[in-house]
Amino acid sequence: LNKSIDSDVLKAFKEFRLSSVAQNNCSPFGQNGSPSILNSTIDDFIEIHEYIDKKRKDWLEEFRKIDEQAKERHLYIRQTMADFRDNYERAQRKFEAADGNLKKFRSRSDSGAVPNYDERCRELEDIRGECDQARILHRDNYITETNREAQASPVSVAPPPLSYHDIEQYLSYRIPEIKNRLDTNKLAPSFYCDLSEHCLKRIQRPIAYPIEFCIHLLKDSLQEEGLFRIAPAQIKQKKLMTELDLQLIDKNSRLEDFGYDAHVPASTLKQYLRGLPDCLLTNALIPDWNKIPLLSTEADRVQRIGQLINQLPKVNYDNLRYLIRFLSDVARHSSVNKMTASNLSICIGSNLYPKEQSSNFSTPNLYANSSIIVELMIIHYETLFSSNNQIDIEQENLSSYKFQPVN
């Protein structure tokens, strides 16, 4: 019945719903201002907590009633037993006094001179007998009541089992409802989501939202020195990740609008690539990618890279091409930003590979192989990526990126 932890959680949920962040976070679907997936989910959590809290208060009220009944019963028993005990003790004292008087009267040395001695002796014996009977009666009553209370059924303090069943039944349909909405909502988080799931099912666009809009925020920062090399403040990167998950950025957004420097979206882009469940170059093709550095000439390596690029799923191809095109633009400004194709490949290459713990090669090989491959992609971008597959996102209406759900 200790509600401190749950109460704090519920309080935090309610405070968030009143915050400016929650009030400004509206869904693009349905009527203007309808709750977002985040707000709807928090509203559900509030309802669930309040339902459980009500059940818990009902239990507490039942416990209080039982406690009051137990206290009343306890007081009654104590008072009753005290009365029986007092009655017995009084009867015992009267018996002892009557027995003492009889013995004292019988032991008188002048019994022969006492008038009506025998009659008075019988009277004292009668008094003693009456006191003895009263003593035995009160003793029996005391013992009988003690045994009766000892054998009486104890007061139950268990809450009604039905309450637990009600909560279990309530959660059994509420939790799947929330999970289903999270799984099917178009504004589900982009980070750590499978690339094809995100692009083909959720946003139904060729380029992943974080890739597209991190690059969009960086388009005026091509001359930023150390781009993709210098790490930003983690708190700002996490904030941008949240804004990307909520799709709060559109074609009108500018870096200065968010108070970020260029290193924030650059590092966030690397984090998105690093967090893909199946890496951008695809886990299945990694053994083939790792053989490229073993080829003797650059021409052979470029040719093999082109072959593997064409084996990628289309969504991977499109996003890789979009990324490499931007990196080639950055490399063209290397005289100012100090980020040559080689430097960029060192900073970004490993993020296109699987995470180290899920791969079958060592860290040095990971960095070396990925750097060689990405550097060649940047240098030979025009050769490797056919212009027939050009994706000109800038020609699309980015302001309507928050799509309507498909019926």
Average pLDDT for 252-277 = 93
Cβ(375)–Cβ(368) under 8 Å? no
Q: What is the mean pLDDT of the chain?
A: 82
Instruction: Say what the pLDDT of residue 153 is.
Output: 58
Model confidence pLDDT, tens digit, residues 67-113:
888 888 888 888 888 888 898 888 889 889 988 988 888 888 887 78
Higher pLDDT, 168 or 338: 338
Instruction: Say what the pLDDT of residue 268 is.
Output: 96
Distance between CA atoms of residues 244 and 257, nearest Å:
14
Distance between CA atoms of residues 42 and 250, nearest Å:
25
HSE, CB side, 13 Å, CA atoms: give it for residue 268: 31
Instruction: Say what the pLDDT of residue 60 is.
Output: 79
Q: Which residues contact 64 (CB under 8 A, 6 or more apart)?
A: none
Model confidence pLDDT, tens digit, residues 238-248:
999 988 887 77
Distance between CA atoms of residues 268 and 32, nearest Å:
30
Does residue 6 register a pLDDT over 50? yes
- Overall pTM > 0.85: no
Q: Which residues contact 179 (CB under 8 A, 6 or more apart)?
A: none
Average pLDDT for 30-47 = 67
Model confidence pLDDT, tens digit, residues 350-385:
999 987 644 455 556 778 899 999 999 999 999 999
Q: Outline where 204-332 has alpha helix (H).
A: 209-218, 234-245, 255-258, 263-275, 286-289, 298-309, 314-332
Model confidence pLDDT, tens digit, residues 275-297:
999 999 999 999 999 999 999 99
Model confidence pLDDT, tens digit, residues 146-169:
888 777 656 555 555 556 778 888
Cβ(225)–Cβ(263) under 8 Å? no
Q: Which residues contact 245 (CB under 8 A, 6 or more apart)?
A: 189, 190, 191
Instruction: Say what the pLDDT of residue 232 is.
Output: 93
HSE, CB side, 13 Å, CA atoms: give it for residue 317: 18
Distance (Å) of CA 348 to CA 60, 310, 330, 383: 58, 21, 13, 21
Distance between CA atoms of residues 105 and 84, nearest Å:
31
For residue 403, what is the DSSP state?
Answer: P
Share of the chain above pLDDT 90, in %: 37
Going by C-alpha positions, the residue among 237, 236, 243, 228 that lies closest to residue 190 is: 243
Sign of CA dihedral 51, 53, 56, 60: negative
Model confidence pLDDT, tens digit, residues 167-209:
888 888 888 988 887 776 666 778 999 999 889 888 888 999 9
By the 10 Å C-beta count (0-12 exposed, 13-18 middle, 19+ buried), 388 is classed as exposed
For the chain, give every residue range classified as CATH 1.10.555.10: 195-400
pLDDT tier, 9 (very low <50, low <70, confident <90, very high otherwise): low
Instruction: Say what the pLDDT of residue 360 is.
Output: 53
- Second-level CATH architecture of 195-400: Orthogonal Bundle (1.10)
Does residue 334 register a pLDDT over 60? yes
Higher pLDDT, 356 or 57: 57
- Pick the range with the lowest mean pLDDT from 62-76, 198-212, 216-230, 340-354: 62-76
